[in-house]
Structure 1
Amino acid sequence: MEVTERPKFKDPKLTAKGEKRATVELKNLHTLWFNTGTRCNLTCENCYIESSPDNDRLVYLEVSDVEPYLNEIKQSNLPTKEIGFTGGEPFLNPKMADILSTTLEHGFSVLVLTNAMRFKPRLQQRLIALNKAFPNKITMRISIDHHSQALHEEERGSGSWQPMIEGMQWLAESGFQIDVAGRTRWGENEDDLRQGYEKLFADLAIPLNAWDEQHLVLFPEMDESAPVPEITTECWGILGVNPDAMMCASSRMVVKHKGDQETSVMACTLLAYDQQFNLGKTLAEASQAVPLNHPHCAKFCVLGGGSCSA
């Protein structure tokens, strides 16, 4: 008698074939992410979080949304050293400089994911002052989807290349630590990609090593409709993958959903809207294990080896 499979990625405990779904334990909270809001100055072709000038599904965070988590880290003696900020475009949030200042004053290093296109003069002055006051504590990760203008603008839109280049050059000339995030969506060989970025960095006199995976991180593509396998408990051994290397073993993300009065802690940066990955209001509540019940868990993290942390 033929057994009919259930839909994939529906049951948090069992796969469509009835096998035990893999979960990931939070081993240590290395990086706490904050999504500062989903508004962005760009509407990219394949934005995993659908950021745009009109998307306010995640509203702008305030200092008062961020500081309780910084205090909880200290009070609970968590091992967190790095605070990450993503969006949308974080620097569209009018309180971003204040949020950075508060985070740095609490003693954390910060990693900001940015398209480097929104550094207006007043913001530049604030950022330079913070970088001077907290040396080697701020890293700006710039999104350069491809080392060629044509393919970068295919993803991010016409006219997005030059402002990004100017923003990156300003950051480098101003003494900020920077690294770059690229994409593998065009199916190129990784060595060829890194060679292309190496030439770009050299042409711009940007002191980055394209062969260093921290200086240049290349992200696999994400497509919820793509046919990807579910991850069972047996997959770790079959694939030779350590669950402790998954992003949700060492990070969480704080968001504020539109209409909510309080922030929520999500399992990871990729799953901002899916309520099955809403783990609670505090870091203590969010320390629970995460079932890998989404296509992104399989394609980006387990099979793609992706991670948003430095």
Structure 2
Amino acid sequence: MPPHRPLDPAKFRDPRLTARGEPRAVVAPLALRTLWFNTGTLCNITCRGCYIESSPRNDTLSYLTLAEVEAFLDEAQALPGTPLREVGFTGGEPFLNRDLPAMLRAVLARPGGLRALVLTNAMRPMRRRERELRALRDEFGAARLVLRVSLDHYDAALHDLERGAGSFARALDGLLWLAREGFTVHVAGRAGFGGEGEAALRAGYARLFAAHGIPLDAADPVALTLFPEMDATADVPEITTACWGLLGRRPDSAMCATARMVVKRKGAPRPVVVACTLLPHDPQFELGATLAAALRPVSLNHPHCARFCVLGGAACSR
């Protein structure tokens, strides 16, 4: 699958310099605090704006196995001076991977009180795992296992426009089940979807949560994460070293300062480590076969680095 490229072909070409010849921003690794696993690109639905192009047919990234996840967990916790705090699972739809409950158990059972985060659409693949989820909750408690449910907008029509007719009702039903069962749930929405400001969006989600008795504070940016739009057709400026000061941002605020993601490409003999959750396909962001090799500086040589992380101020983990 080819990587997304900018509208201006002169941009994001040289990892060292921008199109204007200015030094490109680079993020040095601070510590591995969040380790992500992409469990596979297969998904039960096809969304119009999916940055990773997941679908029921896209197996560009193969299913990871429990043994592969455990090997990277072993390495992560053995790295010196690297306080791993959280392990995230994304896809595709992670619950399509039959090993996911065992992967979650492997995370939660480890010493150190690791948190596990699953990004899910809360539809049928998740509901098929109700028994396993209850068992994990009962054994480890609900606090360290977080299910983040994707609701692109509080209005069903807008959500369905992106994810397909009836998808809002199915996702909401899954969210309600999680809430009734006492799981820790978060919601992920889209900041620019529907043309509203953030205050109006949060107010709309608050009404939705109140109407259904969902115990979430829509004003909490963790409980309700509003991600910036990932419009690949919109031009975006390149990030230079001078931008940190101009924008009032720090390099260590970018995801790639404290996170890496493990993926397994279709037909590959083993998984590899990439810079972050947004860039699993672009070869320049493949950093090696081990976490130790992957903990090296990352050049912000992609539109997603600008629109999502630096200008958007977003991060996939908490």
Which TM-score bucket, shorter chain as reference?
over 0.9
1:86 to 90, 94, 101: 90
Whether the aligned pair in 1 keeps the contact of 2:120 and 2:147 (CA below 8 Å) is yes
Q: What's the counterpart of residue 110 of structure 2?
A: 106
Indicate whether 1:58 and 2:61 are aligned.
yes
Letter in 1 for 2:298: V
- Give the Cα–Cα distance (whole angstroms) in 1 for the partners of residues 36 and 125 of structure 2: 22
Unpaired segments ≥5 residues, structure 1: none
Give the C-alpha shift of residue 76 in structure 1.
Answer: 1.7
Cα deviations across residues 82-118 of structure 1 (Å, max 9, x unaligned)?
0000000000111111111112122421000000002
Indicate whether 1:96 and 2:95 are aligned.
no
Whether the aligned pair in 1 keeps the contact of 2:186 and 2:223 (CA below 8 Å) is yes
1:76 to 76, 79, 90: 79
Letter in 1 for 2:246: I
Q: What's the counterpart of residue 3 of structure 2?
A: none
Give the C-alpha shift of residue 119 in structure 1.
Answer: 5.0
Aligned length: 306
- Give the Cα–Cα distance (whole angstroms) in 1 for the partners of residues 122 and 224 of structure 2: 16
- Residue aligned with 1:139, SS: strand
Whether the aligned pair in 1 keeps the contact of 2:96 and 2:125 (CA below 8 Å) is no
- Give the Cα–Cα distance (whole angstroms) in 1 for the partners of residues 206 and 74 of structure 2: 40
2:248 to 232, 236, 240: 240
- Give the Cα–Cα distance (whole angstroms) in 2 for the partners of residues 171 and 119 of structure 1: 14
Indicate whether 1:131 and 2:137 are aligned.
yes
- Give the Cα–Cα distance (whole angstroms) in 2 for the partners of residues 80 and 122 of structure 1: 30
1:159 to 166, 180, 184: 166
Percent identity reads: 55
Q: What's the counterpart of residue 276 of structure 1?
A: 284
Q: What's the counterpart of residue 4 of structure 2?
A: none
- Residue aligned with 1:85, SS: strand
Give the C-alpha shift of residue 159 in structure 1.
Answer: 1.2
Whether the aligned pair in 2 keeps the contact of 1:223 and 1:296 (CA below 8 Å) is no
Q: Which moved more, 1:68-77 or 1:39-48?
A: 68-77
Cα deviations across residues 54-96 of structure 1 (Å, max 9, x unaligned)?
0000001100110111101222242111000000000011111
Relative to the length of structure 1, the TM-score reads 0.96
- Residue aligned with 2:45, SS: coil
- Give the Cα–Cα distance (whole angstroms) in 2 for the partners of residues 169 and 265 of structure 1: 35
Q: What's the counterpart of residue 177 of structure 1?
A: 184
In 2 relative to 1, CA 305–120 (structure 1 residues): closer, same or farther, beyond 3 Å?
closer
Whether the aligned pair in 2 keeps the contact of 1:6 and 1:17 (CA below 8 Å) is no
Give the C-alpha shift of residue 240 in structure 1.
Answer: 1.0
Indicate whether 1:204 and 2:207 are aligned.
no
- Give the Cα–Cα distance (whole angstroms) in 1 for the partners of residues 266 and 179 of structure 2: 35
- Give the Cα–Cα distance (whole angstroms) in 1 for the partners of residues 205 and 194 of structure 2: 14
Give the C-alpha shift of residue 161 in structure 1.
Answer: 1.3
Q: What's the counterpart of residue 250 of structure 1?
A: 258
In 2 relative to 1, CA 224–204 (structure 1 residues): closer, same or farther, beyond 3 Å?
same
In 2 relative to 1, CA 284–190 (structure 1 residues): closer, same or farther, beyond 3 Å?
same
Indicate whether 1:301 and 2:309 are aligned.
yes
Q: What's the counterpart of residue 148 of structure 1?
A: 155
Unpaired segments ≥5 residues, structure 2: 1-7
Give the C-alpha shift of residue 206 in structure 1.
Answer: 0.4
> How large is the Cα RMSD of the aligned pairs?
1.3
